[in-house]
Amino acid sequence: MQRTLVTLLFILLGFIGVINPIYPETLINNEKVTPSYIPGLGEIMGYIQLRHAKLWFAGINGNWDLAHYELGELKEGFDNAQTYQPDFKGKPIKEIINPLTNPALNSLDQAISKKDFQNFKLAFNKLTHACNACHQSTGYKFIQIQTPSSIPITNQHF
Ligand code: HEC
């Protein structure tokens, strides 16, 4: 008898799981979808961190095509943060990303298209400041970003 009740309970819980998925609906490209996986902000930031480092080594080595590519990936990372984590623990990520990062991203765009080392370095500094300004204003001032001092990976040519 008890075993039957336990079995019934499991069936019921399974059913609730099916009709009430744990992932919330979200708007992607203005379409309501229920993604099976939503990346966390920390995860997205991990990729942004890698792109920040790759961008630096591409730029200072004058590998402008790669720098242009990494800048695009970095922007995608910020777009993903806005799409998947618009409101992170009460912090309006969606609203604050553009005003904080656009000036630096635009300066980087210009420096890269002009193949201008001096302005690339200045714009990269601006970007790093934007990273830290957001970490400070969202309560993560202990996450301090800096210009990388060595290549983060060795299986890619910069
Ligand atoms: C709009 C705000 C904002 C901007 C801009 C921003 N971050 Fe973040 N970042 C955060 C928040 C909030 C967290 C904490 C996320 C969490 O705990 O899940 C974070 C976390 C991180 C982490 C910690 C992730 C880990 O797993 O160790 C790294 C690294 C990071 N950011 C790098 C960067 C870099 C590099 C830039 C700039 C190119 C940047 N961030 C720009 C808000 C921002």
pLDDT value, residue 46: 98
- How far apart CA 57 and CA 149 sit, in angstroms, is 9
The per-residue pLDDT for range 116-126, each reduced to its tens digit, is: 999 999 999 99
- How far apart CA 121 and CA 90 sit, in angstroms, is 34
- Whole-number Å distance, alpha carbon 15 to ligand 1 midpoint, is 38
Q: Is 41 in the pocket of ligand 1 (CB under 6 A)?
A: yes
Q: Is 108 in the pocket of ligand 1 (CB under 6 A)?
A: no
Residue closest via CA to ligand 1's atom 21 equals 45
Decide: residue 103, CB within 10 A, 0-12 exposed, 13-18 middle, 19+ buried: middle
The CA–CA distances, whole Å, from 107 to 11, 148, 155 equal 58, 19, 29
Q: Is 42 in the pocket of ligand 1 (CB under 6 A)?
A: yes
Our CA angle for 120, 94, 140, nearest 5°, is 75
User: What is the rounded average pLDDT of the residues 129-150?
Assistant: 97
pLDDT value, residue 27: 73
Our CA angle for 45, 82, 139, nearest 5°, is 55
The per-residue pLDDT for range 6-25, each reduced to its tens digit, is: 555 555 445 445 545 555 67
Q: Best substitution site from 55, 80, 143, 145 to test ligand 1's pocket, by max atoms within 8 Å of Cβ? A: 143
Q: Is 88 in the pocket of ligand 1 (CB under 6 A)?
A: yes
- How far apart CA 5 and CA 120 sit, in angstroms, is 68
**Does 31 score more than 60 pLDDT?**
yes
pLDDT value, residue 151: 93
The per-residue pLDDT for range 75-115, each reduced to its tens digit, is: 999 999 999 999 999 999 999 999 999 999 999 999 999 99
Q: Is 85 in the pocket of ligand 1 (CB under 6 A)?
A: no
Q: For the chain, what percent of residues have pLDDT higher than 70?
A: 84
Long-range contacts, 124-132 (Cβ 8 Å, 24+): 124/55, 124/56, 124/59, 127/52, 127/101, 128/52, 129/104, 130/100, 130/101, 130/103, 130/104, 131/52
The per-residue pLDDT for range 33-57, each reduced to its tens digit, is: 776 899 999 999 999 999 999 999 9
Question: In the numeric block, which tokens belong to residue 71?
Answer: 């800048």
State the maximum Cα–Cα separation within the chain, in Å, rounded to a whole number. 79
Instruction: Tell me the Ramachandran region of residue 28: left when phi exceeds 0, alpha when psi lies from -120 to 50, beta otherwise.
Output: beta
